[in-house]
């Protein structure tokens, strides 16, 4: 994998491993959506990592709401899904805003990425929050829970061959 972006020395090992797996498993161009503490969308064309977009994850968004807006209580994203789009309590409204808002943010960014490169992308999601968010996305997004582990295995295989020859 070639890393075109200036961030090559800052790119996390989790993103590198997941990108290696995505390249091996999915047709190009690929947008890999990693939904953890932060949500990142990485664009991979062929075997080239073109760059990424980084946004706050679900917990960070909820924490920011409760810490910065005095009237909003701290809530957990783990407790319950929103009853519907429009919340009927403060907690429901916060959950709805964060979950539907996050899904809309991912859908919107994918649309912008496709517009910027002039073609549709294969989208694969991974990370602890992906199952929670993907059900609210309008776009088809493949969920791959083991993407990082697959990438680590592929990197291990590549490096093991190199050291066996030495």
Q: Which of 14, 34, 107, 146 is catalytic?
A: 14
SS3 88: coil
Give the CA-trace dihedral at 3, 108, 78, 64, to 10 degrees.
90
The yes-or-no answer on residue 14 being catalytic is: yes
Helices (H), the chain: 13-25, 58-68, 90-117, 130-134, 147-165
- β-pairing verdict for 122-126 and 30-35: parallel
Active site residues: 14
């Amino acid at each position: 994998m070639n890393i075109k972006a200036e961030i090559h020395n800052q790119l996390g090992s989790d993103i590198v491993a997941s990108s290696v797996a995505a390249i091996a498993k999915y047709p190009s161009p690929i947008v890999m959506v990693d939904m953890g503490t932060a949500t990142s969308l990485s664009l991979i064309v062929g075997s080239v990592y073109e760059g990424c977009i980084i946004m706050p994850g679900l917990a960070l968004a909820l924490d920011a709401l409760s810490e910065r807006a005095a009237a909003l209580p701290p809530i957990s994203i783990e407790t319950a899904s929103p009853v519907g789009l429009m919340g009927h309590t403060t907690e429901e409204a916060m959950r709805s805003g964060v979950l539907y808002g996050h899904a809309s943010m991912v859908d919107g960014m994918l649309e912008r990425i496709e517009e910027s490169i002039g073609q549709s992308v294969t989208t694969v999601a991974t990370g602890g929050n992906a199952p929670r968010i993907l059900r609210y996305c309008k776009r088809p997004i493949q969920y791959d829970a083991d993407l990082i582990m697959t990438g680590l295995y592929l990197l291990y295989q590549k490096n093991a061959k190199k050291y066996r020859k030495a």
